[in-house]
């Protein structure tokens, strides 16, 4: 076996630890040890030693395969009950959602809060919530990933034009470093790398699983004796500067890892909330531009309107697609990041508004398909709703815009597999990408001097509802 750069047995072991954890994470902690051993081309003895070491380090815990009835018991490596937690946040224009995410992708929602739309009113309470939960989870927290509904530059400066945000320093307002300093880069763990040879599996979180409310006991704090707030925004453990990303980029990343862009070479992902974002995804990676602010297909003049967009340009496609456009068609106030419920009502009741919006979405998709030749176009947020409610109108508006050479085999247009959770899951992935490296795992070991007790029973964490492929 050829292993990039691993020349000593110690390096090889470190490399294989990363590969095994990455495979467990990407396949939803649903594959048996023997299947993973085969997938990774490991010797059985090597895999045993690796799993034992990772259990000792409180990174993995093995349990029996669900539904296993006969013969030799089959073990499934999954998250350790005292294992790493990524805190992930989806900040929308009117509400934020904070979650704890384990290896394998299981998500537990910790808090959902509406906000006033100002940078301080949004990020101040969010920073306090992050600090409180980070203190509770202590050294288990490996990082914070934050998705926001606007372009992100320099690792943390965010513009949300509808809300009047201009170069808002998100890490600074969260009390977690600064987007304008080197500290604004993920500090605890290095830039993520990814082995491409592990196949992703089913996600744990599906549309309809979104009912885990605040306080869900699915994940419990460890033996931490520090109460919320004790940490003053810089809790102990491994928490560094947050990884801040655009919601569309992160939704696309999640779609590539756990959704309908898995194993797709060139795909296009469009995320529609109050307006529209879009990004090209190549070999599983969203093409987010040189400075990270590239997922802005919504600010291209693809539909011929002449409206001035809050972004400063005229005629943006995003003016015609999303909750703001639905509200405008219904004659309601729009454009300030408010009116989600009214927009959902319009979506559910006004065939005309839905059809007009779906047509605008289809026309823009045709232009992007001509430019990029994707295999599949995936839609999340209201994009999936528009496809479901008015798919025929959307496709009918798309087709005449396609070049003749594209019409025989136009790309599939599909709704997301991840519901409204894409941005949150992508924020989680960005944290695990930084963690699942030899350097990240080494930092974890250094921060766990008293590990070596694989006795998770004492923690009473249930692992009863893991979904995924059948164990083989």
The answer to whether 111 and 126 are in contact (CB under 8 A) is no
Residues 6+ apart with CB under 8 A from 59: 21, 80, 83, 84, 103, 441, 444
Q: Which residue lies nearer to Zn ion by CB, 169 or 275?
A: 275
Cα–Cα distance, 205 to 258 (Å, whole number): 10
Q: Does 299 bind Zn ion (CB under 5 A)?
A: yes
Strand partners, 107: 101
Q: Does 293 bind Zn ion (CB under 5 A)?
A: no
Q: How far is the CB of 311 from Zn ion (least distance, A)?
A: 3
Q: How far is the CB of 272 from Zn ion (least distance, A)?
A: 14
- Only one of the segments 12-20, 91-99, 238-246, 315-323 lies at the binding site for Zn ion (rule: CB under 5 A); that segment is 315-323
Q: How far is the CB of 309 from Zn ion (least distance, A)?
A: 3
Cα–Cα distance, 322 to 297 (Å, whole number): 13
Q: Which residue lies nearer to Zn ion by CB, 210 or 313?
A: 313
Q: Which of 252, 292, 224 is nearest to 85 (CA)?
A: 224
Strand partners, 145: 88, 243
Sign, CA dihedral 68-74-77-82, equals: positive
Binds Zn ion (CB under 5 A): choice among 14, 266, 282, 313: 313
Binds Zn ion (CB under 5 A): choice among 30, 188, 279, 311: 311
Q: Which residue lies nearer to Zn ion by CB, 49 or 313?
A: 313
Q: Which residue lies nearer to Zn ion by CB, 238 or 327?
A: 327
Instruction: Convert residues 357-386 into a mask of x (bound to Zn ion by CB under 5 A) and - (unbound).
Output: ------------------------------
Q: How far is the CB of 390 from Zn ion (least distance, A)?
A: 24
Q: How far is the CB of 329 from Zn ion (least distance, A)?
A: 18
Cα–Cα distance, 304 to 288 (Å, whole number): 25
Q: How far is the CB of 158 from Zn ion (least distance, A)?
A: 16
- Only one of the segments 175-183, 198-206, 234-242, 301-309 lies at the binding site for Zn ion (rule: CB under 5 A); that segment is 301-309
Q: Which residue lies nearer to Zn ion by CB, 123 or 311?
A: 311
Cα–Cα distance, 347 to 63 (Å, whole number): 44
**Structure tokens that stand for 112 in this block:** 């959902």
- Only one of the segments 163-171, 235-243, 314-322, 378-386 lies at the binding site for Zn ion (rule: CB under 5 A); that segment is 314-322
Ordered DSSP codes for 4-34: TT--SHHHHHHHHHHHHHHHHHHTTT-S-HH
CA-angle at 301, arms to 299 and 303, nearest 5°? 120
- Only one of the segments 212-220, 238-246, 283-291, 310-318 lies at the binding site for Zn ion (rule: CB under 5 A); that segment is 310-318
Q: Does 316 bind Zn ion (CB under 5 A)?
A: yes
Q: Which of 1, 70, 89 is nearest to 430 (CA)?
A: 89
Q: Which of 54, 49, 110 is nearest to 79 (CA)?
A: 54
Q: How far is the CB of 371 from Zn ion (least distance, A)?
A: 18
Q: Which of 402, 354, 400 is nearest to 377 (CA)?
A: 402
Q: Which residue lies nearer to Zn ion by CB, 123 or 158?
A: 158
Q: Which residue lies nearer to Zn ion by CB, 219 or 316?
A: 316
Q: Which residue lies nearer to Zn ion by CB, 117 or 301?
A: 301
- Only one of the segments 12-20, 27-35, 44-52, 316-324 lies at the binding site for Zn ion (rule: CB under 5 A); that segment is 316-324
Q: How far is CA 88 from CA 81, 109, 127, 271, 426, in A?
A: 18, 9, 12, 18, 9
CA dihedral in degrees (164, 170, 174, 177; nearest 10)?
Answer: -150
Q: Which residue lies nearer to Zn ion by CB, 252 or 302?
A: 302
Q: Which of 238, 417, 255, 393 is nearest to 321 (CA)?
A: 393
Q: How far is the CB of 185 from Zn ion (least distance, A)?
A: 28
Q: How far is the CB of 224 from Zn ion (least distance, A)?
A: 45
Residue with tokens 């996600």: 203
Q: How far is the CB of 450 from Zn ion (least distance, A)?
A: 53
Q: Which residue lies nearer to Zn ion by CB, 308 or 407?
A: 308
Q: Does 162 bind Zn ion (CB under 5 A)?
A: no
Count residues near Zn ion (CB under 5 A).
Answer: 5
The answer to whether 380 and 279 are in contact (CB under 8 A) is no
List the strands of the sheet with 152-153, edge to edge.
Answer: 152-153, 157-160, 165-169
Q: Which residue lies nearer to Zn ion by CB, 16 or 161?
A: 161
Binds Zn ion (CB under 5 A): choice among 243, 309, 323, 418: 309
Q: How far is the CB of 296 from Zn ion (least distance, A)?
A: 8
Cα–Cα distance, 93 to 310 (Å, whole number): 14
Q: How far is the CB of 319 from Zn ion (least distance, A)?
A: 7
Strands 266-272 vs 376-381: parallel, antiparallel or unpaired: parallel
Q: Which residue lies nearer to Zn ion by CB, 97 or 275?
A: 275
Scan residues 57-76 and list those touching Zn ion (CB under 5 A): none
Q: Which residues bind Zn ion (CB under 5 A)?
A: 299, 309, 311, 313, 316
């Amino acid at each position: 076996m050829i292993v990039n750069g691993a020349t000593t047995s110690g390096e090889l072991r470190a490399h294989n630890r990363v590969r095994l954890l990455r495979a467990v994470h990407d396949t939803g902690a649903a594959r048996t040890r023997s299947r993973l051993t085969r997938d990774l081309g490991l010797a059985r003895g090597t895999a045993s030693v690796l799993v034992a070491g990772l259990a000792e380090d409180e990174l993995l815990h093995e349990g029996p395969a669900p539904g296993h009835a006969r013969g030799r018991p089959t073990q499934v490596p999954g998250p350790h009950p005292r294992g790493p937690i990524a805190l992930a946040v989806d900040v929308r224009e009117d509400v934020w959602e904070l979650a704890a995410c384990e290896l394998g992708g299981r998500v537990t929602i910790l808090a959902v809060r509406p906000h006033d739309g100002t940078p301080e009113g949004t990020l101040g309470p969010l920073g306090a919530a992050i600090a409180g939960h980070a203190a509770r989870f202590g050294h288990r927290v490996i990082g914070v990933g934050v998705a926001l509904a606007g372009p992100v530059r320099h690792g943390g400066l965010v513009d949300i034009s509808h809300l009047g945000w201009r170069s808002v320093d998100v890490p600074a307002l969260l009390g977690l470093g600064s987007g304008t300093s080197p500290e604004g880069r993920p500090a605890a763990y290095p830039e993520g790398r990814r082995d491409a040879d592990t196949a992703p599996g089913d996600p744990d979180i599906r549309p309809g699983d979104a009912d885990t409310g605040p306080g869900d006991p699915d994940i419990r704090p460890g033996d931490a004796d520090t109460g919320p707030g004790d940490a003053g925004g810089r809790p102990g453990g491994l928490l560094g500067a947050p990884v801040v990303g655009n919601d569309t980029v992160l939704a696309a990343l999640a779609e590539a890892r756990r959704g309908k862009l898995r194993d797709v070479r060139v795909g296009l992902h469009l995320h529609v909330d109050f307006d529209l974002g879009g990004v090209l995804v190549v070999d599983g990676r969203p093409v987010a531009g040189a400075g990270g602010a590239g997922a802005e297909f919504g600010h291209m003049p693809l539909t011929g309107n002449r409206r001035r967009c809050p972004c400063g340009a005229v005629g943006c496609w995003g003016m015609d697609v999303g909750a703001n456009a639905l509200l405008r068609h219904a004659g309601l106030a729009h454009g300030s990041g408010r009116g989600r419920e009214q927009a959902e009502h319009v979506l559910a009741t006004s065939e005309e508004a839905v059809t007009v919006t779906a047509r605008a979405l289809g026309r823009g998709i045709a232009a992007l398909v001509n430019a990029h030749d994707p295999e599949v176009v995936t839609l999340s947020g209201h994009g999936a709703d528009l496809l479901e409610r008015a798919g025929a109108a959307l496709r009918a508006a798309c087709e005449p815009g396609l070049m003749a050479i594209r019409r025989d085999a136009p790309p599939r247009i599909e709704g997301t597999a991840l519901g409204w959770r894409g941005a949150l899951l992508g924020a989680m992935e960005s944290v695990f990408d930084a963690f699942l490296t030899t350097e990240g795992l080494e930092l974890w070991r250094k921060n766990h001097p008293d590990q070596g007790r694989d006795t998770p029973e004492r923690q009473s964490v249930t692992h009863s509802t893991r979904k995924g492929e059948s164990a083989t």
